[in-house]
């Protein structure tokens, strides 16, 4: 058998490599494609890849750029199974080629999406997929639908002055965090694979005038859709009402079909349906903010082009995990002055972004009142969700709600007074033995079980010690009246308070190893973070507090948008 070298990559199963054949393909690596996005929406008629304004189109067809010597660094077995990829295929050369952008399989239709957005509160105009290229949209065996997207696969018409590439450090962070968030129960895009390109990429990590070559990498991201708030803002800003309508129709009919009345087939969706859809998006966004806050996740760059219409965590850039509880912390150096995207402000930014989306939809609805009602509902949706999440974290879901909410608010005001590890504190609180106490314990005795959560336990003294001990006394009283046994309480709290999260320093350690060509720690972290609520006794070091060396290190306490 000979290979067809005229095609992009080899399309045949070859028993041996004929002279001149670049690729020996494996026929089993196939997918059932169902290109909703391309079928429903108009595309760019200009085939040029150079940066430009693209009008009247939702996407541009563009293929990934081939690289020097792609290799697979890591993959998620769960995502591979979701896509129906047989385990043995992950270890083949073809898998590395396909998911680094070096081979296009039959049926794939690579494209980059066109969208705009507000960045740091200001309208930025056209943005688009500047370094992300979707390979295609896959229909799953269970009827589901997933888009395969390569991040770092080369330039597109939306790359502006950039090269469309991604570096290893940012790719490791996205790969690990996508999967870590999923296993924490936080809605997110997934990550199938992390591939090295074999090429070098020039980057200035802190934007301080010191660029250096770094290893290039590509992450294959997976989601039902990558449509975001900015997908609707761009056509609205340009007065492209037909494109805006097409985007809305595509999104509701394909991604929210339960909102579509049976009688609407072949007819434009009514304003009532559009408002109901905005309500769904508002609810999903409020719920996502609750999830971020309950696990201590800080996105770092909540621009409207980085918020998913499906309520997924999307576009992992300068994110960080809240180690010591500080509502004002932001991991993003670009945000260091205004702290717009700080941990404690994320719910408010979610609403701000929804207002921008509602403004974009106004031309199709023509009335402000129904949109305002949706926006007004956000605060109560978030508040109810957060109060419920905090009660669960405290093990007080069955306690009197008013008591639980007061004790929760008091704790959140207390924790920032000295450096307190959020994840460890709530985990230790679940281990607190409420049945054993001296008849009149001292303040020191009351707080002793919680001391491992403090970065500087010697500072737990004076007024702070007194306030903390007073809180523990109140907590013990309320918890004791909640009607749970000690074992039931511990089990309930451990089910919502993770033992393991992707701490900033752990991600940096994995990056440091990967930059030497070692990927074992990536696999280890992936395995540990699959079971974040389990004790995993032999892995306790991965649940430890941030070490001193990571306190001020780039990549641990501070990150740029290139991270």
* 421-456 pLDDT, tens digit each: 999 999 999 999 887 666 789 999 999 999 999 999
Q: Annotated active-site positions, please?
A: 305
Dist. CA 59–CA 157, nearest whole Å:
10
**C-alpha pair distances (Å), 168 with each of 200, 248, 510:** 10, 36, 11
Stated as kind and residue range, the H or E segment containing 485 is none
* pLDDT for 207: 65
Report which of 408, 387, 221 is spatially closest to residue 315, judged by C-alpha positions: 221
Give the per-residue pLDDT at 314: 98
Give CA–CA dist 441/388, Å, rounded: 31
Question: In the predicted model, is pLDDT for residue 263 greater than 60?
Answer: yes
**pLDDT grade, residue 16 (50/70/90)?**
very low
Looking at 299-420, which runs of residues are DSSP E strands? Answer: 320-321
Q: What is the mean pLDDT of residues 192-206?
A: 87
Can you state the angle between helices 422-431 and 486-494, rounded to 10 degrees?
Answer: 160
Kindly report, residue by residue over 71-112, the tens digit of the pLDDT: 999 999 999 999 999 989 999 999 999 999 999 999 999 999
Tell me how far CA of residue 121 lies from CA of 160, 200, 228, 349, 363, in angstroms: 20, 34, 16, 9, 22
Closest CA to 157 of 72, 50, 241, 252: 50
Asked if 341 and 302 touch (Cβ cutoff 8 Å), the reply is yes
Do residues 512 and 525 touch, judged by C-beta distance below 8 A?
A: no
- Residue 118 is encoded by which pair of tokens? 């507000």
Confidence of residue 559 (pLDDT cuts 50, 70, 90): confident
**What is the spatial distance between Cα 332 and Cα 334, in angstroms, rounded to a whole number?**
5
Q: Which helix (H) or strand (E) holds 560?
A: none
What gap in Å lies between CA 355 and CA 158, rounded to an integer?
25
Q: From residue 191, how far is each of 80, 117, 219 by CA, in Å? A: 9, 24, 7
The string of pLDDT tens digits covering residues 29-53 is 899 999 999 999 999 999 999 999 9
Which tens digit of pLDDT belongs to each residue from 468-502?
999 999 999 999 887 788 899 999 999 999 999 99
pLDDT reported for residue 113: 98
Distance of CA 544 to the CA centre of its chain: 23
Determine the pLDDT at residue 17: 39
Contact 83, 136 (CB under 8 A): no
What is the C-alpha to C-alpha distance for residues 547 and 324, in angstroms, rounded to an integer? 12
Residue 7 has pLDDT above 60, yes or no: no
Which tokens sit at 298?
């800080």
- Separation of CA 380 from chain center: 24
Residue owning tokens 């997110």: 188
Taking the C-alpha atoms of residue 297 and residue 117, their distance in angstroms, rounded to an integer, is 22
Q: Please check the confidence at residue 162 and state whether its pLDDT lies above 90.
A: no
């Amino acid at each position: 058998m000979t290979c067809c070298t005229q095609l992009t990559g080899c399309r045949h199963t070859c028993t041996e490599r004929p002279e001149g054949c670049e690729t020996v393909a494996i026929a089993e690596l196939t997918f059932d494609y169902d290109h909703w996005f391309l079928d429903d929406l108009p595309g760019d008629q200009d085939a040029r890849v150079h940066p430009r304004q693209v009008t009247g189109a939702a996407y541009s067809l563009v293929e990934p750029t081939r690289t020097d010597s792609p290799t697979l660094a890591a993959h998620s077995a769960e995502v591979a199974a979701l896509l129906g990829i047989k385990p043995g295929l992950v270890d083949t050369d073809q898998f590395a080629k396909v998911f680094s952008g070096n081979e296009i399989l039959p049926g794939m239709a690579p494209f980059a999406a066109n969208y705009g957005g507000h960045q740091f509160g200001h309208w930025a105009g056209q943005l688009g997929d500047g370094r992300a290229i979707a390979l295609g949209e896959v229909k799953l065996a269970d009827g589901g639908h997933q888009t395969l997207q390569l991040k770092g696969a080369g330039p597109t018409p939306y790359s502006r002055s950039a090269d469309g590439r991604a570096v290893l450090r940012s790719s490791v962070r996205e790969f690990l965090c996508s999967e870590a968030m999923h296993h924490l129960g936080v809605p997110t895009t997934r990550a199938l694979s992390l591939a090295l390109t074999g090429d070098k990429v020039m980057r200035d990590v802190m934007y301080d005038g010191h660029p250096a070559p770094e290893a290039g990498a590509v992450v294959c991201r997976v989601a039902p859709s990558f449509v975001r708030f900015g997908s609707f803002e761009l056509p609205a800003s340009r007065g492209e009402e037909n494109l805006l309508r097409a985007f809305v129709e595509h999104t509701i009919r394909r991604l929210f079909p339960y909102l579509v009345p049976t009688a609407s087939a072949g007819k434009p969706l009514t304003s009532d349906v559009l408002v109901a859809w905005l309500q769904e998006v508002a609810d999903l966004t409020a719920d996502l903010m609750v999830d971020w806050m309950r696990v201590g996740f800080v996105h770092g760059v909540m621009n409207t082009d980085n918020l998913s219409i499906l309520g997924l965590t999307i576009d992992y850039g300068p994110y960080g995990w809240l180690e010591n509880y500080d509502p004002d912390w932001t991991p993003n150096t670009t945000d260091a002055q205004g702290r717009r995207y700080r941990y404690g402000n994320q719910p408010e930014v979610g609403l701000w972004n929804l207002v921008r989306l509602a403004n974009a939809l106004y031309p199709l609805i023509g009335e402000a009142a129904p949109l305002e009602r949706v926006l007004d509902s956000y605060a109560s949706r978030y508040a109810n969700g957060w109060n419920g999440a905090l009660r669960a974290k405290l093990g007080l879901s069955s306690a009197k709600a008013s008591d639980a909410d007061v004790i929760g608010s008091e704790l959140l005001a207390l924790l920032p007074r000295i450096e307190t590890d959020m994840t460890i504190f709530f985990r230790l609180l679940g281990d607190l033995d409420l049945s054993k106490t001296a008849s009149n314990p001292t303040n020191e005795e009351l707080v002793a079980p919680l001391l491992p959560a403090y970065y500087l336990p010697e500072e737990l003294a004076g007024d702070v010690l007194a306030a903390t001990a007073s809180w523990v006394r109140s907590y013990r009283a309320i918890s004791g009246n909640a009607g749970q046994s000690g074992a039931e309480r511990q089990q309930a709290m451990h089910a919502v308070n993770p033992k393991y999260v992707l701490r900033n320093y752990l991600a940096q350690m994995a990056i440091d190893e990967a930059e030497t060509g070692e990927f074992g720690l990536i696999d280890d972290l992936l395995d540990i973070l699959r079971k974040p609520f389990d004790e995993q006794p032999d892995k306790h070091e991965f649940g430890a507090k941030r070490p001193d060396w990571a306190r001020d290190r780039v990549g641990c306490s501070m990150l740029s948008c290139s991270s």
